[in-house]
Structure 1
Amino acid sequence: MDRTLVIGDIHGGLKALVQLLERAKVTPEDEIIFLGDYVDGWSDSANVVSYLIDLAKQNTCIFLRGNHDDLAHRWLKSGEMNDQWLQHGGQTSIDAYRKFSEDQKAEHIEFYEQMVNYYIDKEERLFVHAGFTNLKGPAQEYTPTPFYWDRTLWELAVCVDPSLQPGEIGYPRRLELFNEIFIGHTPVTRIGSTKPHKAANVYNMDTGAAFKGKLSLMDINSKEVYQSDEVWTLYPDENGRN
């Protein structure tokens, strides 16, 4: 494989995803790791899933489960929904699926069910949508919920003294378990960043595509970053999750 690429939260921004893959000159030889939250935001939520299903036929792809994907899956499979989900992008996914047949929905349900909660590569790099809380690592979690809802891992990384190194007193044990950790879930725009942000050994790839930010991709070996336009400019008549 030529490169291993990681992509942050998409939130229904198919136009941004297509633009991003073109800018990064992605080929079928590239492996792509998606960090979750494919839906709930812009109007192309269902179309994003269809696009990813087709993309996986030509590229090696790993699809992490995000909290919004979990909620959309629950609704598709059983009709389960709640006001909080509807207020945070869920309605856009419901609207996006109105034109989809039952067979198409069944194909998407299968896609959601095949997502993974986390992935660890041969270089001991962890990929997870949100985080994990168990000090012995993600394999020891009692419930999968932290993988797509936790924010404490990122909050911890941001608070680490940049002068501290792994193994030194005060360096968090959770972060020592992996050489690098790649996450999404919490937009880096909250700390004034517009590009993927590194704190300790954690790379946050969520650059606010659901709001006023861009969609981002990183070559995990070279650390080269590619970005789409600000996603809202590609959907000028929509509000996303704003």
Structure 2
Amino acid sequence: MKRTLVIGDIHGGFKALQQALERAEVTENDQLIFLGDYVDGWSESSEIIKLLIEISERQECIFIKGNHDAWCEDWLSFGQNPDVWLFNGGKSTVESYADYFPEDLDLHLEFFQRMKNYHIDDQNRLFIHAGYASMHGPEKEVYSSNYRWDRTLWETAVAMDKKLEKNSELYPKRLLLYKEIFIGHTPTLDIGITTPANKANVWNMDTGAAYTGALSIMDINSKEFWQSDPLPSLYPNEKGRNL
């Protein structure tokens, strides 16, 4: 039976991705939607991209671009390596590419360039890395950087009164645009949750794999989910993103 599985931020955790895919018993019949931030953090960013390319050749995949992916794309394209990127996990990504040939780098760059800013499925479910500010949805977003950086969508969902009805004039208009919204970018650890977190109709899949959390995969229909071990236990000799 075909499933649609959504995967949270990976941040170079190759071992975690392998483990989570195995625990979810992913097959070639499953559609995979990745929410971005594949690189920066743990030591195997280039291995992540190599694996994702291989997976995409044998099954249906959608790859959303995260802010860390945009940084890495700029480095592969133009050699740009700003200090803010290197400090936030970029250094480990650069090191992971040390032994790559130019043709392999070009292949990876093409992969980053093909990533989507967001995806809307046939049931009006939105998949985006961070969020959007426009009351008319990401299609009308003035600042495309919000696709990869916005936190206000998640903050709004977290702060909402649970008693607020959808027909209320106070219900956030942004949230009424879609049946469900799947995001990453802001770790659920920030609100003390270690599993995929649901607030209003927003599902946050970033369960802190860049830090002390695990990588999560979820069936978007059944909401069953699977997680890797916490990343520090898989990379005991590393610090992840500035731990």
TM class by smaller structure: over 0.9
Q: How far off is 1:59 after superposition? A: 1.3
Q: Distance in 2 between matches of 1:68 and 1:165?
A: 36
- Residue type at the aligned position of 2:163: S
Aligned residues: 242
Q: Distance in 1 between matches of 2:29 and 2:185?
A: 27
Alignment gaps of 5+ in structure 2: none
Residues 194 and 214, structure 1, Cα contact 8 Å, conserved in 2: yes
Q: How far off is 1:143 after superposition? A: 3.0
Q: Distance in 1 between matches of 2:162 and 2:81?
A: 42
Q: Distance in 2 between matches of 1:209 and 1:91?
A: 17
Residues 167 and 176, structure 1, Cα contact 8 Å, conserved in 2: no
Q: Distance in 1 between matches of 2:220 and 2:166?
A: 20
Q: Distance in 1 between matches of 2:240 and 2:66?
A: 17
Q: How far off is 1:233 after superposition? A: 0.8
Matched, 1:8 2:8: yes
Q: How far off is 1:173 after superposition? A: 0.1
- What TM-score do you get using the length of structure 1 for normalisation? 0.98
- Residue type at the aligned position of 2:11: H
Alignment gaps of 5+ in structure 1: none
Q: Distance in 2 between matches of 1:171 and 1:225?
A: 28
Write the deviation string for residues 30-89 of structure 1: whole angstroms up to 9, x where unpaired: 000000000001010011000000000111000000000000110111011211111110
Deviates more, 1:161-170 or 1:112-121: 161-170
Residues 16 and 229, structure 1, Cα contact 8 Å, conserved in 2: yes
- What TM-score do you get using the length of structure 2 for normalisation? 0.98
Q: Secondary structure of 2:228's match?
A: strand
Write the deviation string for residues 212-232 of structure 1: whole angstroms up to 9, x where unpaired: 000001000000010000011
Show the counterpart of 1:143: 143
Show the counterpart of 1:102: 102
Show the counterpart of 1:50: 50
Deviates more, 1:44-53 or 1:1-10: 1-10
Alignment of 1:159-238 (within 5 A): 159-238=159-238
Q: How far off is 1:169 after superposition? A: 2.4
Q: Distance in 1 between matches of 2:143 and 2:163?
A: 34
RMSD in angstroms over aligned alpha carbons? 0.8
Deviates more, 1:120-129 or 1:80-89: 80-89
Matched, 1:111 2:114: no
Deviates more, 1:110-119 or 1:72-81: 72-81
Runs of 4+ in 1 over 2 A off after TM superposition: none
- Residue type at the aligned position of 2:27: T
